[in-house]
A and B are shown apart, each in its own frame.
Chain A
Amino acid sequence: MFKKILIANRGEIARRIICTCRKLNIQTVAIYSEADAQSLYVKEADEAYLVGKPPVAQSYLNIEKIIEIAKESHAEAIHPGYGLLSENATFAQSCLDAGLTFIGPSPEVIASMGSKLEARKKMKEAGIPIIEGMDIALENTEAACQAAEKIGYPIMLKASAGGGGIGMQRIDNSDQLVKAYEGNKKRAESFFGDGTMYIEKLIEDPHHVEIQIIADSYGNVVPLFERECSIQRRNQKVVEEAPSPFISEATRAKMQEAAVRAAKYIGYTNAGTIEFLVDSKQNFYFLEVNTRLQVEHPVTEEILGLDLVAEQIKIAAGESLSFQREDIERKGHAIEVRIYAEDPKTFFPSPGKITGLQLPQGPGIRHECAIEAGTVVTPFYDPMIAKLIAWGKDRDEACKRLLDALHHYKVGGIKTNIPMLIETVSHELFLKGYPTTSFVENYYLPKIQEIKSK
């Protein structure tokens, strides 16, 4: 086992990794930008090193500097968390070249799944259902229009290197496509350095359901059930739960099989997630592979009683999985909400100083939290400041516990999305377990408009 691990991340996920490392008696090394010097994870790590100026390009994305700190501090492995460098194949390779263990899959797997077009191709080869669409990059607006005619509107225009919803747009006709194509391509170029675009047929009103898998280096792949993450705003998840209240046992079994087949086909190791869209008839289609720990991993941990970070570290250290598929038992229901520093009506960010913080306690309540009273939420990073997870013996109990906790969750000094989360979690459709990815647009936003105009 490793003696010391460097965490190439910040905020709540850095704290989460430190927590597991302590349990495993592993020393931790934190890196921080000038903007994060006072952060909780910096205080909690055994060692902490300044990595650079606040903008991510000068700090958390500085591969050379991070490797240098890892060597200097004698860390043996690097945990990348999620976001930032976690799905950067060059970073994973740089770790290996420097003699460090990268806690995640191989650079080759990261690279091939990082290109969504390449991932589509691989999944098709593996026999996984994919959305009708094109397998080659669009050359220009004209080619895009031709391909779209062939597939039929409405379509989704997507960036091959995309993430976080950037460069992605629903298109209903050729006029819209002509207008959107160049802008989305440029945006993809400026955000990801790659403007490769492609299109897929739009799946109307889908559910987002993903399968967590864990794989060791000896060919053992175990599926760890699904998470449903249909409540999204700006194509980013807000509420996640396990198990999905929507899919049937038969669909669940088929999706788990598909995820295992996909993982084996691409030679996946460590923790990963295969994302799918599921339509109203329970047909499921491959969306993408996330080659890292997900933000929403705690709901899986809560229903299975597992520590996914510990499993990741053990696999990276060369251990084989300590359990088989038959050993995995799911118990109860867990729901996570992401607390964002943002206006609950416009979803615009709300940086500033947190003047007070009250975290609700109670049975089944878990917190993953990056802040305390006095923390300054800066404009440099993602607006997610905390996660609240509620477990219950069934979905009803989990919903009740979550709603009760949300009512007692107090963040002073900045705006948060807590009012939006309360609206969502107490909505009749949510309580019934019906929401699709259109929930915010079709039910939440119209309600807000109604309240405003009163």
Chain B
Amino acid sequence: MTKIKASMAGTVWKIVVSEGEEVKAGQDVVILESMKMEIPISAESDGVVKRIIVQEGMFVNEEDDLLEIE
């Protein structure tokens, strides 16, 4: 299981996958908004989204867990 972490502090703008969904390495899973810019966060490996930890609108710090992929 791998945890996808926030690459920088910001607000969760959009969660573009749902729990149980299959994702491929490099696919965007969450879009953060930081300093008026959209920051896409992508999966590092293929897998299935096991759990989404954050909600849209939530503020996250760098290195905070966003979701789990199995």
Per a CB cutoff under 8 Å, which of A234, A348, A379 touches B9?
A: A379
What's the least CB distance linking B54 to chain A, in Å? 15
A383 engages B11 (CB within 8 Å)? no
Is A381 interfacial (CB 8 A cutoff)?
Answer: yes
B11 engages A55 (CB within 8 Å)? yes
A351 engages B36 (CB within 8 Å)? no
Question: What residues of A have a CB within 8 angstroms of the CB of B34 in the complex?
Answer: 349, 351, 379
B interface SS class: strand
B36 engages A341 (CB within 8 Å)? no
> Considering the chains assembled together, what is the distance between the CA atoms of A348 and B10 in angstroms?
12
What's the least CB distance linking A260 to chain B, in Å? 33
B11 engages A349 (CB within 8 Å)? no
Is A362 interfacial (CB 8 A cutoff)?
Answer: no
What's the least CB distance linking A180 to chain B, in Å? 15
Is A164 interfacial (CB 8 A cutoff)?
Answer: yes
What's the least CB distance linking B6 to chain A, in Å? 10
Is A382 interfacial (CB 8 A cutoff)?
Answer: yes
Per a CB cutoff under 8 Å, which of A348, A350, A382 touches B36?
A: A382
Number of interface residues of A (CB under 8 A): 15
> Considering the chains assembled together, what is the distance between the CA atoms of A382 and B37 in angstroms?
9
> Considering the chains assembled together, what is the distance between the CA atoms of A350 and B37 in angstroms?
11
> What residue of chain B has the Cβ atom nearest to residue A382's Cβ?
B36
Is B35 interfacial (CB 8 A cutoff)?
Answer: yes
Max count, chain A CB within 10 A of own CB: residue among B11, B34, B35, B39: B35
0/1 interface trace, chain A 232-246, chain B, CB 8 Å (1 if under):
001000000000000
Is B8 interfacial (CB 8 A cutoff)?
Answer: yes
Q: Which B residues between 18 and 53 are near A, CB-CB below 8 angstroms?
A: 34-37, 39
> Considering the chains assembled together, what is the distance between the CA atoms of A423 and B4 in angstroms?
34
B8 engages A164 (CB within 8 Å)? no
B39 engages A348 (CB within 8 Å)? yes
> Considering the chains assembled together, what is the distance between the CA atoms of A378 and B61 in angstroms?
10
> Considering the chains assembled together, what is the distance between the CA atoms of A378 and B34 in angstroms?
9
Q: Which A residues between 340 and 392 are near B, CB-CB below 8 angstroms?
A: 341-342, 348-351, 378-383
Question: What residues of B have a CB within 8 angstroms of the CB of A381 in the complex?
Answer: 35-36
Question: What residues of A have a CB within 8 angstroms of the CB of B39 in the complex?
Answer: 348-349
> Considering the chains assembled together, what is the distance between the CA atoms of A273 and B24 in angstroms?
47
B8 engages A350 (CB within 8 Å)? yes
0/1 interface trace, chain A 106-128, chain B, CB 8 Å (1 if under):
00000000000000000000000
> What residue of chain A has the Cβ atom nearest to residue B39's Cβ?
A348
> What residue of chain B has the Cβ atom nearest to residue A384's Cβ?
B35
> Considering the chains assembled together, what is the distance between the CA atoms of A348 and B40 in angstroms?
10
B11 engages A351 (CB within 8 Å)? no
> Considering the chains assembled together, what is the distance between the CA atoms of A228 and B15 in angstroms?
40
> Considering the chains assembled together, what is the distance between the CA atoms of A342 and B39 in angstroms?
12
Question: What residues of B have a CB within 8 angstroms of the CB of A349 in the complex?
Answer: 8, 10, 34-35, 37, 39
0/1 interface trace, chain A 323-346, chain B, CB 8 Å (1 if under):
000000000000000000110000
Question: What residues of B have a CB within 8 angstroms of the CB of A351 in the complex?
Answer: 8-10, 34-35
What's the least CB distance linking B16 to chain A, in Å? 13
What's the least CB distance linking B65 to chain A, in Å? 17
What's the least CB distance linking A343 to chain B, in Å? 10
Question: What residues of B have a CB within 8 angstroms of the CB of A378 in the complex?
Answer: 9
Question: What residues of B have a CB within 8 angstroms of the CB of A383 in the complex?
Answer: 35-37
> Considering the chains assembled together, what is the distance between the CA atoms of A350 and B8 in angstroms?
8
> What residue of chain B has the Cβ atom nearest to residue A350's Cβ?
B8
> Considering the chains assembled together, what is the distance between the CA atoms of A380 and B36 in angstroms?
7
Question: What residues of A have a CB within 8 angstroms of the CB of B8 in the complex?
Answer: 348-351, 379
> Considering the chains assembled together, what is the distance between the CA atoms of A337 and B12 in angstroms?
31
What's the least CB distance linking A300 to chain B, in Å? 25
Q: Which B residues between 50 and 66 are near A, CB-CB below 8 angstroms?
A: none
A382 engages B35 (CB within 8 Å)? yes
> Considering the chains assembled together, what is the distance between the CA atoms of A129 and B10 in angstroms?
42
Residues of B within 8 A of A (CB): 8-11, 34-37, 39
Apart from A341-B35, A349-B10: 13 A-B pairs, beta carbons within 8 A: A164-B36, A342-B35, A348-B39, A349-B8, A349-B34, A351-B9, A351-B10, A379-B8, A379-B35, A380-B35, A381-B36, A382-B36, A383-B36
> Can you spell out 15 A-B residue pairs with CB atoms less than 8 angstroms apart?
A55-B11, A164-B36, A341-B35, A342-B35, A348-B37, A349-B8, A349-B10, A349-B35, A349-B39, A351-B10, A378-B9, A380-B35, A381-B36, A382-B35, A382-B36
